């Protein structure tokens, strides 16, 4: 009994390691990632049937690839649409077996994996479909695992994936790497998907299913794979650096009571030094290559990571990085963060000068952190009546009970 379970989990481990490469290799053959994924799944089923009795092949990845490709060739033959579906052989009248053999013997090239990532994150798909396809095809996650991670029913994820595959086929998205002007925008989409997956896991609270934190690991894994495939892209390293450094704080983010502990109050001994070291190394590579918005965010995270205590934080450097970020990608949220950094570097008055223009910002109307930060700066300046009004305003905006209690407590402090 246990032998069977062990064999199954061993095969599934091989699958998770090899899935993306197999799907990518087959997709190049059949030109359709949806079909490729089904063929790869068929190969997994064959492995689950054959390996327990016949033994695991010497090179299990190659076995899966060959099995899936053979099924792909069978499918193509059956459909008799060879010319259309087999780009490598397009324009040839006859296809003999030796040509098929050549296809079988091709080594999976790294470009295939990159094509797969770009296709899964294609802009014709909705963001949630990109996320599901990426986890499924790059991470080798099952529909059930993805559903648990996103706290939605299995059927929803199943539908999302099959619709996404159809959408790619309908839009005739070629299994190719984007070139020219398209390339930068497509890479942005890939990086966004990875960051979205990470944040979905990172925002999970202590009591959540273990699959949610596992999303962070998945995002980091795909990010590292991408960094290996595109070593010259600054922002890929920048994103990896950001993820590694953010993840390094995971264990310190919640207290024993499950409550969120803010960055400056975290026990820094609980930060993961190995991830910080990796993050700083990735950041150095990103900065060497030029950087961008992810790199700047990683550089800000690195300022915190380098400080042994909250008091040792290099706030002038952080304020400077937020200013560069505001230039590159202006947003009211970045400006709000800059106001906080400036207040820490140059005092509450300087922070307030950055913050006050944001009161006119429609995007921040109803955003509780604006009055909350403003209240804090006013409090530090001794303008207690104004501070109290801001804390009360912030308390009225937040939906989080614990946060509301905290803000009302601060409002009371202003009276004392």
Partner 1 sequence: MRYMLMHKLDDSNPALWQPTPEFIAKFGEYMEEVNKAGVLLAAEGLLPSSAGAAVIRVTDGQTTVTDGPFAEAKEVIGGFGILQVRDHAEAVEWAKRFAALFDNVEVEVRVVSEYE
Residues that bind partner 1 (CB under 8 A): 9-10, 12-14, 16-17, 110, 214, 217, 220-225, 228-229, 251-252, 270, 272, 274-275, 278
Task: Tell me how far, at minimum, the Cβ of 105 lies from partner 1, in Å.
Answer: 19
**CA 256 to CA 247: how far, in whole Å?**
18
Beta bridge partners of 254: 260
Q: Find tokens 């099995």 and name the residue.
A: 67
156: CB partners within 8 A, 6+ apart: 147
29 neighbors 143 (Cβ within 8 angstroms): no
Task: Tell me how far, at minimum, the Cβ of 66 lies from partner 1, in Å.
Answer: 18
Nearest CB to partner 1, comparing residues 124 and 214: 214
Dihedral, 387, 391, 396, 400 alpha carbons, nearest 10:
170
Nearest CB to partner 1, comparing residues 220 and 318: 220
28 neighbors 115 (Cβ within 8 angstroms): yes
Q: Find tokens 């079988």 and name the residue.
A: 104
**CA 22 to CA 353: how far, in whole Å?**
56
Task: Tell me how far, at minimum, the Cβ of 255 lies from partner 1, in Å.
Answer: 12
Task: Tell me how far, at minimum, the Cβ of 143 lies from partner 1, in Å.
Answer: 16
Task: Tell me how far, at minimum, the Cβ of 205 lies from partner 1, in Å.
Answer: 13
**CA 300 to CA 247: how far, in whole Å?**
14
Nearest CB to partner 1, comparing residues 140 and 371: 140
Nearest CB to partner 1, comparing residues 133 and 296: 133
Task: Tell me how far, at minimum, the Cβ of 172 lies from partner 1, in Å.
Answer: 30
**172: phi then psi, degrees, rounded to nearest 5:** 50, 45
Nearest CB to partner 1, comparing residues 85 and 278: 278
Nearest CB to partner 1, comparing residues 252 and 289: 252
């Amino acid at each position: 009994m246990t032998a069977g379970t062990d064999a199954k989990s061993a095969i599934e481990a091989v699958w998770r390691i090899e899935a993306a490469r197999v799907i990518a290799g087959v997709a190049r053959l059949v030109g359709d990632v949806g079909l490729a994924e089904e063929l790869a799944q068929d190969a997994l089923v064959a492995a689950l049937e054959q390996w327990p009795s016949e033994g695991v092949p010497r090179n299990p990845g190659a076995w899966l690839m060959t099995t899936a490709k053979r099924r792909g060739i069978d499918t193509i033959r059956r459909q008799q649409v060879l010319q259309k579906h087999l780009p490598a052989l397009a324009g040839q009248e006859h296809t003999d077996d030796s040509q098929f053999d050549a296809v079988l013997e091709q080594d999976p090239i790294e470009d295939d994996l990159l094509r797969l990532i770009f296709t899964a994150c294609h802009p014709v798909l909705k963001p949630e479909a990109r996320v599901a396809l990426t986890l499924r095809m790059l991470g080798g996650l099952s529909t059930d695992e993805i559903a648990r991670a996103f706290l939605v029913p299995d059927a929803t994820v199943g539908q999302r994936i099959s619709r996404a595959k159809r959408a790619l086929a309908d839009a005739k998205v070629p299994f190719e790497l984007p070139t020219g002007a398209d390339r930068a925008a497509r890479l942005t989409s890939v990086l966004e998907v990875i960051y979205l997956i990470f944040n979905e896991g990172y925002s999970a609270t202590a009591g959540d299913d273990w699959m949610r934190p596992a999303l962070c690991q998945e995002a980091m894994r795909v990010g590292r794979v991408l960094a290996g495939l595109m070593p010259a892209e600054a922002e890929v390293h920048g994103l990896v650096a950001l993820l590694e450094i953010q993840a390094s704080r995971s264990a310190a983010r919640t207290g024993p009571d499950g409550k969120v502990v803010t960055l400056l109050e975290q026990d820094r001994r609980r930060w993961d030094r190995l991830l910080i070291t990796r993050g700083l190394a990735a950041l150095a590579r990103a900065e060497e290559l030029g950087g961008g918005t992810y790199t700047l965010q990683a550089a800000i995270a690195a300022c915190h990571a380098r400080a042994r205590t909250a008091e040792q934080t290099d706030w002038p450097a952080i304020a400077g990085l937020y200013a560069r970020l505001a230039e590159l990608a202006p947003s009211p949220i970045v400006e709000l963060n800059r106001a906080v950094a400036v207040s820490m570097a140059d005092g509450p008055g300087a922070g307030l000068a950055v913050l006050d223009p944001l009161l006119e910002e429609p995007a921040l109307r109803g955003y509780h952190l604006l009055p909350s930060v403003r209240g804090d700066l006013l409090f530090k300046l001794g303008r207690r009546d104004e501070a109290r009004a801001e804390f009360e305003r912030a308390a009225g905006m937040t939906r989080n009970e614990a946060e509301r209690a905290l803000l009302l407590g601060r409002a009371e402090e202003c009276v004392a």
